[in-house]
Amino acid sequence: MRFSGLRVLKEGLTGNRGWKPHWRDPAPKQAYDIVIIGGGGHGLATAFYLAKEHGLRNVAVLEKGYFGGGNVGRNTTIVRANYFLPGNSEFYSHSLRLWEGLEQELNYNVMHSQRGLINLFHSDGQRDAFVRRGNAMINQGDDAELLDRDAVRRQLPYLDFDQARFPIHGGLLHRRGGTARHDAVAWGFARAASERGVDLIQNCEVTGIDVENGSVTGVQTSRGAIRARKVAIVTAGRSGQVAALAGLRLPIESHILQAFVTEGLKPVIDNVVSFGMGHFYISQSDKGGLVFGGDLDFYPSYAQRGNLPTKEHVMEAAMTLMPMIGKARVLRSWGGIMDMTPDGSPIIDRSDIGGLYLDCGWCYGGFKAVPGSGFALAHLLATDRPHESAVGLRLNRFRDGIGLMDEEGTGAQHNLH
Amino acid sequence: MRLTCPNCGERDLREFTYRGAALDRPEGAWSPAWDAYLHQRDNPAGASREHWWHGFGCSAFLVVERDTRTHDILSVSLASGGRQ
Ligand SMILES: Cc1cc2nc3c(=O)[nH]c(=O)nc-3n(C[C@H](O)[C@H](O)[C@H](O)COP(=O)(O)OP(=O)(O)OC[C@H]3O[C@@H](n4cnc5c(N)ncnc54)[C@H](O)[C@@H]3O)c2cc1C
Ligand SMILES: [Zn+2]
């Protein structure tokens, strides 16, 4: 079933009776070439690119809940390629290029909107840091423009420019940055993977990973045992628990990140905007809600809800930067479990167990990475070599102290990112 | 979430800073034990042993046992074990 404008028109005129489920719902087979644990954005994208790029279709995605129920459906949907360090730069640059062709490739409207991202700066030091970052982005082949105070004021007249404590000196504009509809990304990849023959299995929790003579042979699940030649752990905040099923410890702590949405409003915030002097960033969804967030709560948690001090900080930062939003009423807030690494950068690599692969450590930035990560993990699974965009995302960089990607420059230690 | 500091009593989360998993520090020069100590984590979903610092209170380092699924605090003690 292909989606098109004509199709929407036809269905609209005939009572919308022709729509079919977007993906098949097969029972799990006894064996697959490749089993992907976790049906978030990354797991589903991996399945799609395995089928599309490598012709591998004897593949299953095992999801303990439903597709879109994890972080892929809980994030604030910012998509950008404004990283600074080698390793991250080329990876996120590649991912953004995949985003730019994604809707055509999936034949699915993921509402990818390149509405521009503006990171504000508030001091000379911050300006220098953003000039450097902008140059790194341009060197990587992406876009960056430095805006002075007047240019920011023309674009974002609603900011508090009279603020004496945190004066707005300018911003770094990344025009190709923007947002997307988060669960549509999961659904779009699921539908496209299913169409190409991958088995997508929901309500199927992996409860054991079978290892014989140092190599993986399959998994135990709530729906029975499944044999596999290769197994990939793609379970975001749950990476630690799932890796423990194979006896592995990972350089990951799971932390809580909160987000907030207001009642629907008329269009008022056109871009994605981030505050440089407090932890706050915001965009407006196509439905009209202001979607915003801040920093981690900074303690390990699997509760999927955070504590009040972080909410308070985010609201204070919001009011400091754009007092107008004080009139909007917050509708909901929620939390997601973030797989935090010591340097704040991700891992796509083999593990020490034969046939067992890891895709984790996405911290609070893994939504933009969904296509890039799926592409790179599929490449690694199919060829046993890292894709050129992901050679830096090594598991052992912490142990070796080589190739750390600490974007914030605070040190490659847990709890600093 | 509130923590009951052995010195100060029950206090608001804002007064405390999480300082990482409470692990035994290895001795001597670099070895895989240091990698395990610095980087690798059990990352438990359930009871967890952690260091917290009462920076906006008595400045003691605390060992907190906490359920990471529910925010329940199971125990709080002084990391020094009460030694001066
Ligand atoms: C509040 C918030 C805001 C964020 N904002 C942004 C943003 O603006 N931009 C950005 O780029 N990123 C953002 N992120 C990060 C991003 O959402 C995540 O990094 C990314 O979604 C993680 O990858 P995933 O989609 O595969 O994870 P998930 O959707 O969490 O997928 C993992 C899946 O594994 C499944 N699973 C776990 N254990 C098992 C098991 N034993 N067996 C079977 N299945 C299992 C889970 O049920 C889950 O569905 C944000 C996250 C949060 C919480
Ligand atoms: Zn105290």
Helix (H, G, I), strand (E, B) or coil at B52: strand
Percent of chain A scored above 70 by pLDDT?
100
Instruction: Verify whether ligand 1 is closer than 6 Å to residue A197 (CB atom).
Output: no
Residue A48 has a pLDDT of 98
Give the model confidence (pLDDT) of A247-285 as tens digits: 999 999 999 999 999 999 999 999 999 999 989 999 999
Verify that A277 and A381 share a domain, yes or no: no
Which chain A residues contact residue B40 at CB under 8 A?
A: 249-251
Q: How confident is the model at residue A1 (pLDDT cuts 50, 70, 90)?
A: confident
Contacts (Cβ under 8 Å, ≥6 apart) of A200: A23, A24, A25, A26, A39, A44, A47, A60, A61, A63, A67, A190, A193, A194
Are residues A161 and A269 located together in one domain of the fold? yes
Residues A32 and A154 in one domain: no
Nearest residue in A to B19, CA atom: A415
Whether residue A49 is predicted with pLDDT greater than 80 in this model: the reply is yes
Instruction: Check residue A417 and give its pLDDT.
Output: 86
Residue ranges per structural domain of chain B: 1-22+45-84
Over range A334-351, report the average pLDDT: 97
Neighbours of ion ligand 2 (CB under 5 A): B 5, 7-8, 54, 57-58
Q: Is the pLDDT of residue A242 over 90?
A: yes
Q: Based on the domain organization, do A174 and A187 belong to the same domain?
A: no
Is B40–A249 a contact, with Cβ atoms under 8 angstroms apart?
A: yes
Q: For residue B33, what is the nearest residue in chain A, using CA coordinates? A: A399
Model confidence at B81, in pLDDT bands (50, 70, 90)? Answer: confident
Regarding whether A168 and A121 lie in a shared domain, the answer is yes
Same domain, A61 and A31: yes
Q: Please tell me whether residues A196 and A335 are part of one structural domain.
A: no
The mean pLDDT of B22-51, rounded to a whole number, is: 96
Q: Is the pLDDT of residue B2 over 90?
A: yes
Asked if residue A164 has pLDDT above 80, the reply is: yes
Contact residues for A261 (Cβ-Cβ < 8 A; gap 6+): A285, A289, A290, A291, A292, A330, A331, A332, A333
In terms of Cα–Cα distance, which of A289, A249, A250 is closest to A267? A289
Query: Both ends of chain B: CA-CA distance in Å?
Result: 28
Q: Is A66 on the interface with B (CB under 8 A)?
A: no
Ligand 1 site, residue A295, Cβ cutoff 6 A: no
- The tens digit of pLDDT for each residue in A71-101 reads 999 999 999 999 999 999 999 999 999 999 9
> Of A44, A75, A274, which is best to mutate to test ligand 1, by the most ligand atoms within 8 angstroms of its C-beta?
A75
Total domains, chain A:
2
Concatenated DSSP letters for A172-190?
A: EEETT-EE--HHHHHHHHH
CATH number reported for the structural domain that contains residue A168 in this entry: 3.30.9.10
Q: Tell me if residue A9 falls in helix, strand or coil.
A: helix
CB of A18 closer than 6 angstroms to any ligand 1 atom: no
Class of domain B1-22+45-84: alpha beta
- Chain B residue with the nearest C-alpha to that of A303: B69
Domain that holds residue A195: 25-78+84-107+182-251+343-400
Chain B hits for A307, Cβ within 8 Å: 1, 13, 71
Residues A265 and A328 in one domain: yes
* Residue A29 CA to its chain's centroid (Å): 30
Q: Is the pLDDT of residue B83 over 90?
A: no
The answer to whether position A8 is within a domain reads: no
- Residue B48 has its nearest CB partner, among A300, A342, A415, at A300
- ipTM of this complex prediction, to 2 decimal places: 0.95
C-alpha dihedral sign at A296, A297, A303, A305 = negative
Looking at the structure, do residues A190 and A331 belong to the same domain, yes or no? no
pLDDT at position A50: 98
Same domain, A102 and A186: yes
Ligand 1 atom with the shortest distance to the CA of A62: 43
Per-residue pLDDT for B82 more than 90?
no
Question: Are A187 and A336 in a shared domain?
Answer: no
A300 shares its domain with A310: yes
In a domain, A5, yes or no: no
